[in-house]
């Protein structure tokens, strides 16, 4: 008999039931005594509870799930150490403006000597999350509704601290929180619409760069229509990769991952419009992709984001889709802008990294990561969702693995922590269950987050885990090695990561040449009853192109 069958239950259990009514299909956590009843309330309320193996993994799964499903992210944690273990994942979510509720147990009022006692409100603030608190048995429903409202309207990660003495109070089963009624997003001012239309009509080489705030089909359709009318080329930040898939004017990702042609065209623009994009140093290559005479515009719901990373000539507060539609309506006729038949031909043949010539450096028992990723792109089904960890390797899966749309790519890199990629892909896989999940990891990040291989097995996910294994923290090797610094602290003996995967229950293969990928082909053609781990022993000849550019930028 579950707790919901009792007429009187605890506030902790009811908190889970109330949050379940918010409509998210999944919640994530590591259960301890402080969040045991909350987690049961969520599960009994109809939300599928996913038990992660580490709190950081749980928070990252909730973050990725929210990004890839459009639902509110939910994670539950034990007090004190449960919250601190999850902190990197929470920071990533907060920096990414992910709407997420962190239901964190807290010590009882007055329990200052408890070994779990820390200032959880201050911790939330310190990483950019918003703190909230369940204050009493009388207010818990309103407190939760307020936290949900903040998360959804402010696109914020909200840490809801819930004292265990309040959780233990008895309460009759009561009503759920009122339904959330979203407010219409702010419309752009008439003056800003007029000024943006003026800049567009005077521009000969406009480029639109869409970011995280434009990740919706509504925004995509409005931006494509506006770009067709104004003659603009289309690009994205890494977080919005795939948004303009299928458009002949798609330059793919702007910034360090950009192909040479994409970088050339963006740098040649006389007008750059960031749509829900901060146009930060990564997206604009430390400003190198902004020509000396280019005008820069930002459109964002958050007024504080306008001009936060660079000088802009116009800032527009407004919804991306609505702003694009309004400006489209006032532009007098269609224009060629940056577009031409010759340029369309170049984009078709030179934008994808995999289509560009390169020197294959495979040999001596190591495979070139470009050759590896191109072969996997051909082998693995096109309907996929790709999660990428951080590290020297990350450009290869990001730019050599095609994705069907923006929901096929989940990029938890706002905090630039390694170790989040596997949990990222688990969350994204649950949000997109009809797609093949592909986790792309470095060996450092894989070993840091290795416990979540168990979660993949328990969930029965048909996941492919690719480990770009250079037996090192490659970014540090290539950053400090050229200056002659000792590298003993960042280079390791070779690890049999395939054996580790097999120990968890994966089918596993070690890849040193493209011939070794025949095992991958057989797995793809099988019933895929077990997930697959590919331990790819990759070449170590130098930094990847994007990392070399980043080092020069610094």
DSSP code string of 439-452: EEEEHHHHHHTGGG
Q: Please state the length of the chain.
A: 554
pLDDT in tens, 6-55: 566 999 999 999 999 999 999 999 999 999 999 999 999 999 999 999 99
Average pLDDT, the chain: 92
Contact between 132 and 143 under an 8 Å Cβ cutoff? The reply is yes
Counting Cβ atoms within 10 Å, is residue 529 exposed (0-12), middle (13-18) or buried (19+)? exposed
pLDDT band (50, 70, 90) for residue 3: low
Measured distance CA(128)–CA(291) in Å, rounded: 33
**What pLDDT does residue 544 have?**
80
> Which of 364, 372, 361 has its CA nearest to residue 464?
372
Strands, sheet with 48-51, edge to edge from the N-terminal-most edge strand: 48-51, 26-29, 73-77, 100-106, 157-163, 130-133
Measured distance CA(450)–CA(440) in Å, rounded: 13
Contact between 286 and 553 under an 8 Å Cβ cutoff? The reply is yes
Strands, sheet with 384-388, edge to edge from the N-terminal-most edge strand: 409-410, 384-388, 436-442, 464-469, 532-537, 507-511
**What pLDDT does residue 5 have?**
54
Q: Which region holds residue 262: left if phi is over 0, alpha if psi is between -120 and 50, else beta? A: alpha
Q: Where are the domains of the chain?
A: 3-172, 190-350, 353-553
Averaged pLDDT, 61-88? 96
**What pLDDT does residue 456 have?**
98
Measured distance CA(463)–CA(61) in Å, rounded: 15
**What pLDDT does residue 178 have?**
85
Domain 3-172: CATH class, spelled out: alpha beta
Segments in 410-491 forming alpha helices (H): 421-431, 443-448, 453-459, 474-480
Contact between 197 and 329 under an 8 Å Cβ cutoff? The reply is no
Q: List b or e across 275-314, with b for residues whose CB sees 16 or more CB atoms inside 10 angstroms.
A: bbbbbbbbbbbbeebbeeebbbbbbbbeeebbbebbebeb
Averaged pLDDT, 195-212? 95
**Which architecture does CATH list for 353-553?**
3-Layer(aba) Sandwich (3.40)
pLDDT over 90 for what percent of the chain?
80
Secondary element (H or E) of residue 158: strand 157-163
Three-state DSSP class for residue 438: strand
Q: Report whether pLDDT(554) > 70.
A: no
**What pLDDT does residue 551 have?**
65
Task: Just give the CATH number of 190-350.
Answer: 3.40.50.1220
Q: Please, what is the Cα angle at 340 between 336 and 342, to 5 degrees?
A: 175
Q: Which of 46-50, 343-347, 485-489 has the lowest mean pLDDT?
A: 485-489
Q: How many angstroms separate the Cα of 17 from the Cα of each of 22, 32, 255?
A: 9, 18, 44
pLDDT in tens, 234-260: 999 999 999 999 999 999 999 999 999
pLDDT in tens, 276-315: 999 998 899 989 999 999 999 999 998 888 998 999 999 9
**What pLDDT does residue 388 have?**
96
Q: Which of 140-149, 179-188, 470-479, 508-517 has the lowest mean pLDDT?
A: 470-479
Measured distance CA(514)–CA(178) in Å, rounded: 56
CA 320, 323, 326, 331 torsion-angle sign: negative
Measured distance CA(25)–CA(69) in Å, rounded: 10
**What pLDDT does residue 7 have?**
62
Q: Report whether pLDDT(180) > 90.
A: no
**What pLDDT does residue 472 have?**
75
């Amino acid at each position: 008999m579950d707790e919901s069958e009792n007429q009187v239950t605890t506030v902790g259990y009811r908190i889970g039931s109330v949050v379940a009514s918010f409509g998210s299909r999944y919640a994530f956590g590591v259960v301890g005594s402080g969040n045991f009843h909350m987690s049961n309330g969520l599960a009994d309320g109809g939300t599928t509870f996913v038990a992660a193996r580490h709190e950081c993994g749980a928070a990252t799964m909730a973050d990725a799930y929210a990004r890839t499903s459009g639902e509110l992210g939910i994670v539950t944690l034990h007090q004190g150490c449960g919250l601190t273990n999850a902190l990197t994942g929470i920071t990533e979510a907060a920096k990414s403006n992910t709407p997420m509720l962190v239901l964190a147990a807290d010590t009882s009022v007055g329990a200052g000597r408890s070994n779990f006692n820390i200032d959880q409100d201050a911790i939330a603030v310190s990483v950019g999350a918003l703190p909230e608190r369940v204050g009493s048995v009388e207010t818990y429903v309103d407190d939760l509704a307020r936290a949900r409202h903040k998360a959804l309207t402010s696109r914020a990660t909200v840490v809801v601290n819930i004292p265990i003495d309040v959780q233990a109070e008895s309460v009759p089963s009561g009503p759920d929180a009122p339904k959330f009624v979203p407010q219409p997003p702010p419309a752009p001012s008439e003056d800003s619409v007029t000024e943006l239309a003026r800049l567009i009509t005077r521009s000969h080489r406009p480029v639109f760069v869409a970011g995280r705030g434009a990740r919706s089909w509504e925004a995509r359709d409005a931006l494509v229509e506006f770009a067709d009318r104004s003659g603009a080329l289309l690009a994205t930040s890494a977080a919005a990769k795939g948004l303009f898939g299928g458009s002949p004017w798609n330059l793919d990702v702007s910034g360090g991952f950009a192909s040479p042609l994409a970088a050339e065209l963006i740098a040649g623009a006389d007008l750059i419009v960031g749509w829900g994009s901060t146009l930060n140093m990564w997206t604009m290559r430390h400003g190198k992709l902004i020509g000396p005479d280019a005008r820069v515009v930002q459109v964002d719901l958050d007024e504080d984001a306008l001009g936060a990373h660079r000088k802009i000539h116009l800032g527009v507060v407004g919804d991306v889709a609505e702003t694009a539609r309004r400006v489209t309506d006032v532009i007098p006729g269609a224009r060629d802008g940056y577009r031409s038949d010759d340029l369309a031909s170049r984009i078709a043949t030179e934008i994808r990294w995999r289509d560009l010539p390169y020197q294959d450096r495979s040999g001596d028992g190591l495979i070139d990561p470009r050759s590896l990723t191109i072969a996997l792109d051909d082998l693995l089904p096109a309907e996929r969702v790709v999660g990428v960890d951080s590290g020297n390797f990350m450009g290869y899966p990001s730019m050599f693995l095609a994705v069907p749309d923006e929901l096929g790519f989940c990029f938890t890199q706002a905090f630039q922590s390694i170790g989040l990629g596997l949990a990222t892909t688990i969350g994204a896989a649950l949000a997109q269950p009809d797609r093949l999940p592909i986790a792309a990891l470095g060996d450092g990040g894989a070993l840091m987050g290795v416990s979540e291989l168990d979660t993949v097995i328990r969930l029965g996910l048909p996941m492919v885990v690719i480990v770009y294994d250079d037996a090192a923290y490659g970014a540090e090797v290539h950053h400090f090695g050229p200056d002659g610094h000792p590298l003993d602290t960042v280079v390791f003996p070779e690890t049999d990561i395939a054996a580790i995967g097999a120990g968890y229950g994966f089918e596993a293969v070690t890849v040193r040449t493209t011939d070794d990928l025949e095992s991958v082909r057989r797995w793809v053609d099988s019933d895929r009853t077990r997930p697959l781990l590919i331990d790819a022993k990759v070449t170590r000849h130098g930094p990847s192109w994007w990392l070399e550019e980043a080092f020069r930028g610094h």
